[in-house]
Structure 1
Amino acid sequence: MRRLLAGFLIIASFAACFTGKPPATEKSASAQQSTEQTFTNPIGNGADPWVIKDKGYYYTCYSSSAGKGKSGISVTKSEYLTKPGAGKNVWTSPDTGWNQRNVWAPELHRIGKKWYIYYAAAKSGPPYINQRAGVLESVSEDPQGSYVDKGVIKTGTDDKDYVKTIWAIDMTVAKINKKWYATWSGWERNNTTDKTSQHIYIARLLNPWTMDSERVKISSPEQSWETGGPLDLNEGPEFLQRKGKTFIIYSARESWTKEYRLGQLKLKDGSDPLKPESWGKKGPVFEGTDQVFGVGHASFTTSPDDKEWWIFYHTKKSTDHGWDRSVCLQPFTWNNEGEPVFGRPLPAGTPIKKPSGERP
């Protein structure tokens, strides 16, 4: 749960500045080559970073200010995974309606020939009791082009609710066995306080904006590593798929604390995604250290040549409660059982080899 606008603010410049030209010695040439082949985290400021690769470009999607108290959604485009491009606003929240405030955690997905942006928003708040999930559809095949609002998505039934559905944030989608599914973080029922526990739900999609099944709860904050804070949460679910296996990597604990971390749900081979028993849980699979705090809400992609896998995540800038966060990248691997191995988050400033196939 976020108490602030979850925007991903791109750093204006990634270029290093030098005060003079070093002598052309073997040592300085080697150091320059090393710098050209590495990068350091963080690569930006903000939260809930989303990245998707399509036709040789990386696109990120983030909530942004549209002026006059309104929220917007922007999309960047770049050949570089480590250097997101300039953001282009593709949608601005309306003056009235269910989605005029608190635009959180947008995600960009290609479905067929169109692009869709899933996001959370509300008619008002704080308190954040009105968050619901919605989706935008692109007018063309250009992810940085115009979008039309397809409305709120029904994530449960509540006839007394102002949009007849149940609190939901952090929606994402993926195809499993030729069918599309959505997963998100939600409440069991609507409430008058935002101090309410969150769970992970899944449902099958009829089309990108309509559910084709009832929601099914597949995870609650029940294990010891998911509990113990002021408000136990499961949120930020993201699909991760490789070689026929499907995972949901999600965030546990409270986003404003240093204990924020990632857990994993694994779909059992040949199982129905709509049955809770089809998902096995383990965790934490990625968590903070004494130098890195509040690791959470990640997305995943591959290097330009598809030889490496990368995790795109956010961290807290200090141990203080709050939402002052940075976005980071680092590679991960897979074990013999076909499960992701994320390792440990690297401290800010640690040189990391650039993604395989990324040109200078």
Structure 2
Amino acid sequence: MPWQKSDVFFRSMQVGLTLLSLLLISSAHGQEQTFTNPIREGADPWVYQKDDRYYYSMSTGSGIAVSVSSKLTDQGTPVEVWKAPENGWNRANIWAPEIHFFDGHWYIYYAAGKEPGTPFIHQRSGVLKSVGPDPLGPYEDRGMLYTGDRYPDLQSIKWAIDLSPVTIRGQLYAIWSGWEENRPTDKTPQHLYIAKMCTPETICGNRVKLSSPDQAWERGGPLDLNEGPQPLTRGGETFIIYSTRESWLTEYRLGQLKLKSPGLDPLLPSNWVKSGPVFVGTDQVLGVGHCSFATSPDGSEHWLLYHSKKSAKPGWDRDIRLQPFSWDTFGNPVFGMPVPAGIPLPLPSGETE
């Protein structure tokens, strides 16, 4: 359709202008070092920025690892900080861990199940808490988080993955991807939920459904999904950037929820507006999704970390990529188009080899 061609051209121009601007700035500052995508193997990239360091977390298959680095382009050396137990609800399928810092402790939010392999019908969300201030542990297992509809009935906890905390007007909330009801098949639609947190390790209320795959750009495949919600805040505005369509197919992409006004209650679905897609793959970069965000070491640039598929073949063989993004005059993020592999990008401002 003509409008689709125009939209692709416009987004291509956006990312081209962004890259040109960064190259000019880098040249002006004498920073000529570059990097190329992909930056490493893997999936579900997570980065947490604190002071002058970046903290990364990742699944090891049977546990969770953390690394610390001064760079966005190099995550450093991962150290396994937690091993899944031999028995229990969280002994298998360790997915998409996120490390966060609250009140002198590090917390890692993750998804796991009691049975290995498919069907993935047992996934629930849990949290680890560091014993002290060291991000490399040791950590205590603080158990399963409540993701149900009849608080505090633990029997009502529902399937939940990709849980991430977000602070809105001083109140902590959890957002995640979940099922409406637990089912005996993983061919089940996924929705986005939010709930109030009383502490970084406690959800203290019923979940509220914020989003379902109900837009044309979220639908069309064998199993339409909303997952991987990531908060993005700037200037008092709150966004949730999430993944939609099927993670194992090339159509995987990013959508956006925005709280209509900073003073509105985030637990009311009508207070959020959906738009998208805000980031889609190309013939050269396939199935883009499950992102996180950071600023450059000197704080002057905004960067998007995401994964993409290595081939058009259905599956989860993916690598991790990094590229800058900008903001429009209305305060909305502009992600442009994914930069193809091998194209030189200037290092994040303030990062040097």
Cα distance in 1, alignment partners of residues 63 and 34 from structure 2: 33
Q: 2:308 aligns with which of 315, 331, 334?
A: 315
Residue 135 to residue 344, structure 1, CA distance change in 2 (3 Å): same
Aligned-partner Cα distance in 1 for 2:149–2:313 = 38
Counterpart check, 1:284 vs 2:277: yes
1:58 match:
54
**Residue aligned with 1:277, SS:** helix
1:1-360 mapped onto 2 (5 Å cutoff): 37-65=33-61, 71-124=62-115, 125-157=117-149, 164-269=156-261, 270-360=263-353
Helix, strand or coil: the match of 1:349? coil
Conserved in 2, the CA contact under 8 Å of 1:98 and 1:163? no
Counterpart code for 1:358 = E
Amino acid corresponding to residue 109 of structure 1 in structure 2: H
In 2, Cα distance between the equivalents of 1:336 and 1:157? 39
User: Using the alignment, how far apart are the partners of 1:61 and 1:108 within structure 2?
Assistant: 6
One-letter amino acid of the structure 1 residue matched with residue 114 of structure 2: K
Q: Which amino acid aligns with 1:325?
A: R
Deviations 1:314-353 (A, max 9, x none): 0000111000000000000001111100000001111001
Q: Which has the higher helix share?
A: 2
Secondary structure (helix, strand or coil) at the match of 1:225 reads: helix
Going from structure 1 to structure 2, the CA distance change for 1:35 and 1:258 (only over 3 Å counts) comes to farther
CA distance in 1, matches of 2:212, 2:111: 20
How many Å separate the matches in 1 of 2:288 and 2:65? 23
- Name the SS for the 2:248 alignment partner: coil
Does the CA-based 8 Å contact 1:258-1:294 persist in structure 2?
Answer: yes
SS in 2 for 1:80: coil
Determine helix, strand or coil for the equivalent of 2:118. Answer: coil
Q: Secondary structure at the match of 2:198?
A: strand
- 2:60 is paired with a residue whose SS is strand
Query: Are the equivalent residues in 1 in contact too, given 2:197–2:204 (CA < 8 A)?
Result: yes
- In the aligned structure 1, how far is the partner of 2:332 from the partner of 2:94? 33
Bigger shift: residues 129-138 or 207-216: 207-216
SS of corresponding position for 2:106: strand
Q: CA deviation at 1:164?
A: 4.5
| Residues in 1 aligned to 2:345 and 2:225: alpha-carbon distance in whole angstroms | 31
Q: CA deviation at 1:162?
A: 8.7
What secondary structure sits across from 2:284 in the alignment? coil
Q: Find the residue that maps to 1:249 and give its secondary structure.
A: strand
How far is the alpha carbon of 1:271 from its aligned partner? 1.0
Question: For the residues of structure 2 that align with 1:156 and 1:48, how far apart are their CA atoms?
Answer: 24
Distance in 2 between residues matched to 1:330 and 1:142, nearest whole Å: 29
**Superimposed CA distance per residue, residues 43-72 of structure 1 (whole angstroms, 9 cap, x where no aligned partner):** 11111100011121111100004xxxxx11
Supply the distance in 1 between the matched residues of 2:134 and 2:320 (Cα, whole angstroms): 25
Shift of 1:208: 1.4
CA distance in 2, matches of 1:38, 1:77: 21
Does structure 2 conserve the Cα–Cα contact (< 8 Å) formed by 1:158 and 1:166? Answer: no
Instruction: Among all aligned residue pairs of Structure 1 and Structure 2, give the percentage whose two residues are the same amino acid.
Output: 58
> 1:178-197, CA deviations, whole angstroms, 9 ceiling, x for partnerless residues?
00010000000100100000
Matching residue's letter, 1:197: P
| 1:14-38, Cα deviation, whole Å (9 max, x unpaired) | xxxxxxxxxxxxxxxxxxxx99610
**Separation of aligned partners in 1, 2:218 and 2:101:** 32
Alignment size in residue pairs: 322
The answer (yes or no) to whether the contact 2:149–2:206 under 8 Å persists in 1 is no
Q: Deviations along 1:126-178, whole A, 9 cap, x unmatched?
A: 1100000000001111111211000001100479x996410000000011000
For structure 2, the 5+ residue unaligned runs are: 1-29
What TM-score do you get using the length of structure 2 for normalisation? 0.89
| Deviation >4 Å, runs of 4+ | 161-164
Q: What amino acid sits opposite 2:238 in the alignment? A: T
Match of residue 17 from structure 1? none
Structure 1 CA distance for aligned equivalents of residues 198 and 68 of structure 2: 29
SS at match of 1:180: strand
Superposition RMSD in Å: 1.7
What CA distance in whole angstroms lies between the structure 1 residues aligned with 2:299 and 2:195?
Answer: 30
Rounded Cα–Cα distance in structure 2 between residues aligned with 1:112 and 1:339: 30
